[in-house]
Structure 1
Amino acid sequence: MLLAVDIGNTNIVLGFLDGDHKEQMRGTYRITTKANHTSDEYGLMITEFLAMSGYSPSDVQDVIIVSVVPKVMHSFRASIVKFLGIDPMIVGPGIKTGINVVMDNPKTMGADCLADCVGAYFTYGGPALVADFGTATTFNYVDSKGSIRSGLITTGIRTAAAALWNETAQLPEVEITRPKSILAKNTKDAMQAGLYYNFLGGIERTIRQFQQEIDGEFRVIATGGLGRMFKDDTDLIDVYDPDLIFKGLASIYARNTR
């Protein structure tokens, strides 16, 4: 079994992948990203999650990690070495991905975005616009030959919401959810409706701008925990795949099997 790990700004997500080509998702688990977790704390959580999926540490053949939080990496990597006896594969410079990054400085592209694009291209083909709705919202365009040609980065809806209630004196913290109606009659509903529809409109406008400036059709592949809210409210998203990054990590791992 391959343990694939996505270390993001909000959550660390573990994916257990099995099968001949590590294509079968056996379970996913989330840990809140905290820089002050020790390697022992991470190790305990990992072994508990393994047990919940019917595995033991000895069942883990290898580990691959993609991270955008450098300050977490020391403790987390140490936990893998200590509890699983494996030096994990890290997605970064020198790793074979099967796709090209045709940008001004390819090294500055986020490793999570790269893994998303690999998952989208080798699962659904290209050209594709890959949208990841997380702490930040990213859009990356992959052409028919598997080259990442452009990208866009903006705030995620939860990040925007936090700015709203942290920077205003009287607005409360509210749950990020799809509202029943835009016709809000109280502060909570007004905030939820405003956040949701403003963000949904931004998604659609962004996709349409890509459509205007790209010569040819493409599919829009969405992922990220927050993408689930929007997939049924717009016909501009063709596919929503919550496991996209793990499919990308499995593909990358296959090209770099040790």
Structure 2
Amino acid sequence: MMLLAIEQGNTNTLFAVHDGDSWIAQWRTATASSRTADEYAVWLSQLLHMNRLSFSDLSGCIISSVVPQSIFNLRNLSRRYMNVEPLVIGENVDLGIEVRIAKPAEAGADRLVNAVGAHLMYPGDLILIDSGTATTFDIVAADGAFEGGLIAPGINLSLQALHEAAAKLPRIAIQKPDRVIGKDTVEAMQAGVFWGYIGLIEGLVARIKAEWGKPMTVIGTGGVASLFEGATPSIDRFDPDLTIRGLLEIWRRNASLKD
């Protein structure tokens, strides 16, 4: 069995291939909700070919997307070019965990998949910090249940907002500054956003732990999570593979239910 896992966020979309034993290829592309199944296929076929693979080698597909208007085209990619019906997170897929929030259907697919991937690897109660377009703080109970969480603007979104709302502030790339006090405009923006997010992380983790009342392990993941590595003791582990691990586990669970 060779699985194509598609994890689509608001900014980037990850395509990953698992051969039954390990992940053998991963590629990212910018998320574009108007991209058609045929456009995806042209791009993906070239990358598969570079890895000595083809669509005919792929026998399964699972999709997690937070962009509803893209799901139609991703589903057609699987149907038309792989000749398989994909599993789509949120559409009658058994996650294997309980979703303990008032309206379970409102939970983002990425947050639920992360919960599955984290519970598989880490024991006890967890806080998952996913740094992407948004920065999410999700709580996973020791039994694997998704308990809800918090959503804040992502770090790059904050930089973009500063640039667009203030005429004299330039568009800059985020990086860890050497000091807190900036000596020019760019340094000041980088320090404000970076150390501001460190303060956000430390403050919210402390409040979550105080409200939860039990020990919790904090896991960082997402596109810019590595930027915070070593900058705060509030994050215990960094794990870039939470999502694809969760997708693989959900695929295996649902495949076994069909057998």
In the superposition, the TM-score normalised over structure 2's length comes to 0.94
Distance in 2, matches of 1:125 and 1:109, equals 22
Distance in 2, matches of 1:54 and 1:238, equals 38
Letter of the 2:231 partner, please give it. Answer: D
Q: Contact (CA 8 Å) 1:2, 1:62: kept in 2 or not?
A: yes
**Hey, what does 1:100 align to over in structure 2?**
98
1:203 aligns with 2:201: yes
Matches within 5 A, 1:184-203: 184-203=182-201
Letter of the 2:17 partner, please give it. Answer: F
> Relative to 1, partners in 2 of residues 1:129 and 1:182: Cα closer, same or farther, differing over 3 Å?
same
**Hey, what does 2:88 align to over in structure 1?**
90
Deviation at 1:133, TM superposition (A): 0.7
**Hey, what does 1:18 align to over in structure 2?**
19
Is the partner of 1:184 in helix, strand or coil? coil
4+ residue segments displaced more than 4 Å: none
Q: Contact (CA 8 Å) 1:128, 1:220: kept in 2 or not?
A: yes
Matches within 5 A, 1:174-193: 174-193=172-191
Q: Contact (CA 8 Å) 2:218, 2:237: kept in 1 or not?
A: yes
1:156 aligns with 2:154: yes
**Hey, what does 2:124 align to over in structure 1?**
126
Deviation at 1:231, TM superposition (A): 2.0
Distance in 2, matches of 1:125 and 1:80, equals 35
Deviation at 1:207, TM superposition (A): 0.6
Deviation at 1:212, TM superposition (A): 0.9
What CA RMSD, in Å, does the superposition of the two structures yield over aligned residues? 1.4
2:31 counterpart (17, 30, 33)? 33
Letter of the 2:196 partner, please give it. Answer: N
**Hey, what does 1:6 align to over in structure 2?**
7
Letter of the 1:19 partner, please give it. Answer: G
List alignment gaps of at least 5 residues for structure 1: none
Letter of the 1:180 partner, please give it. Answer: D
2:240 counterpart (229, 234, 242)? 242
Distance in 2, matches of 1:52 and 1:256, equals 30
Q: Identical aligned pairs, as a percentage?
A: 37
Q: Contact (CA 8 Å) 1:125, 1:144: kept in 2 or not?
A: yes
1:52 counterpart (50, 53, 67)? 50
Is the partner of 2:167 in helix, strand or coil? coil
Q: Report the number of matched residues.
A: 255
> Relative to 1, partners in 2 of residues 1:188 and 1:47: Cα closer, same or farther, differing over 3 Å?
same
1:165 counterpart (148, 160, 163)? 163
Q: Contact (CA 8 Å) 1:43, 1:80: kept in 2 or not?
A: no
Distance in 2, matches of 1:79 and 1:219, equals 38
1:63 aligns with 2:69: no
Letter of the 1:41 partner, please give it. Answer: E
Letter of the 1:71 partner, please give it. Answer: Q
Is the partner of 1:66 in helix, strand or coil? strand
List alignment gaps of at least 5 residues for structure 2: none
Deviation at 1:135, TM superposition (A): 0.4
Letter of the 1:4 partner, please give it. Answer: A
Deviation at 1:142, TM superposition (A): 1.1
Is the partner of 2:142 in helix, strand or coil? coil
Which stretch shows the higher mean deviation, 7-16 or 47-56?
47-56
Deviation at 1:70, TM superposition (A): 0.9
Deviation at 1:205, TM superposition (A): 0.7
Letter of the 2:130 partner, please give it. Answer: D
Q: Contact (CA 8 Å) 1:204, 1:234: kept in 2 or not?
A: yes
Q: Contact (CA 8 Å) 2:3, 2:20: kept in 1 or not?
A: no
Which stretch shows the higher mean deviation, 107-116 or 47-56?
47-56
Q: Contact (CA 8 Å) 1:93, 1:107: kept in 2 or not?
A: no
